Amino acid sequence: MSNTAAKTVTLVQPDSARPIIKATCVDKHFGAFHALKSVSANFYEGQVTAIIGPSGSGKSTFLRTLNRLETHDSGTIEVDGIELNDDLKNLDAIRREVGMVFQSFNLFSHLSILQNVTLAPMRVRKMPKAQAEAKALALLERVGLKNQAHKYPVQLSGGQQQRVAIARALAMDPKVLLFDEPTSALDPEMVNEVLAVMRELAHTGITMLVVTHEMGFAREVADRVIFFDHGVILEDTTPAEFFANPTHERAKAFLSQVR
């Protein structure tokens, strides 16, 4: 057991990179339910991590503690050297560095696509409107939606809305992007257009943590796979190692169901 742990640490810790996220002994309860049990993991700049595991294993909770959509009970979380705690100044600084893309898109329905993407840069970063719009249009072009800028979310397909959500997150120039099952709410024919955008992003050097059931993405795009089960990280290794030799029975069982 300890041998395995020592090996996986070296595999997932690039020598040159520094951790942009350090989670150490993070615990989270919902009432009496222990959702995260002393979870520790460092994430390195430019690394793409696929977080997988059964439903209810704590994947979303872990991701949400990293930008304080959930508070953790104990342990420490640091993002780019800033501790995530009750200090609102720290939270503000961290939220500027960490973007999130949700399963259900969460676009503002009363705002146009362009306004969805310009809102945070204008409000939070005080970016002038013309500059925010130019940037938004460039990002929308990158996700293939420049010609939809003046439409409203309801006029777009799910896959298009999710690509807008990615552009919106990128508009704040985050160092880290958290994705919580970004393709799970999509019709099958729209999954690939979103994965293609994520694949392109993965090559830009942004740090990505992706909760996903897309094993193809985990295998081909991720640098690292973390397998959650019952609130603990059971496996933390390279995709090649994880898919070829899952160590734990629970991981083997999970893989036999999703493959």
> Which residues contribute to the site for ligand ADP (CB under 6 A)?
30, 33, 35, 53, 55-61
Residue 68 backbone phi and psi in degrees, to 5? 65, 30
With contact defined as beta carbons under 8 Å apart, do 134 and 89 qualify?
no
Q: Which stretch binds Mg ion (CB under 5 A): 3-11, 59-67, 147-155, 224-232?
A: 59-67
Residue 186 CB, shortest distance to ligand ADP, in Å, is 17
Closest residue to Mg ion using C-beta atoms:
60
CA dist., res. 150 & res. 59, Å (int): 35
Which one of 60, 67, 118, 183 is in contact with Mg ion (CB under 5 A)?
60
Residue 215 CB, shortest distance to ligand ADP, in Å, is 16
**Positions in 1-20 near Mg ion (CB under 5 A):** none
Residues 6+ apart with CB under 8 A from 7: none
Kindly give the interhelix angle for 129-142 and 158-170, rounded to the nearest 10 degrees.
Answer: 130
Q: What is the Cα gyration radius of the chain?
A: 18
Residue 51 CB, shortest distance to ligand ADP, in Å, is 8
Query: Which of 59/135 has CB closer to ligand ADP?
Result: 59
Residue 233 CB, shortest distance to ligand ADP, in Å, is 12
Instruction: Tell me how far CA of residue 135 lies from CA of 121, 165, 201, 202, in angstroms.
Output: 10, 15, 16, 20
Query: Which of 23/145 has CB closer to ligand ADP?
Result: 23
Residues lying near Mg ion in the complex (CB under 5 A): 60
